[in-house]
Amino acid sequence: MRPHPDNPARKLVLGNLTIKGITKRWEVEVTPTTQTDKLFIAQANLNFDRQQFGVAYKGLKDELVHDMVKMNILIKAR
């Protein structure tokens, strides 16, 4: 974890994202909500292209399944 270069209230976290056995290094911007010597809690938005992880859907192009997946995550660390 390191400070965000453009916003001191945010942090950058680098880690591994594994989906369906495919692992990629991923950096996420997080917003800490609690940060003490013993506890770190933060929220983040994680966006990724599911095709990069072999998640394929062979449907019509106008259907509701999109390649970009958006997740809201909560990180808790001690």
Q: Where are the domains of the chain?
A: 2-77
Residue 62 clears pLDDT 70, i.e. is over it: no
Query: What is the average pLDDT score of the chain?
Result: 89
Q: Which CATH architecture has domain 2-77?
A: Beta Barrel (2.40)
Residue 42 clears pLDDT 90, i.e. is over it: yes
Tell me, yes or no, if the pTM score tops 0.85. no
- What are 51-58's contacts with CB under 8 Å, separation 24+? 52/22, 52/24, 53/19, 53/20, 53/22, 53/24, 54/19, 54/20, 54/22, 55/19, 55/20
Please, which pLDDT band fits residue 18 given cuts at 50, 70 and 90?
A: very high
Instruction: Note whether 55 and 65 are within 8 A (CB).
Output: no
Query: Which pLDDT value is given to residue 66?
Result: 81
> Which is more confident, 49 or 56?
49
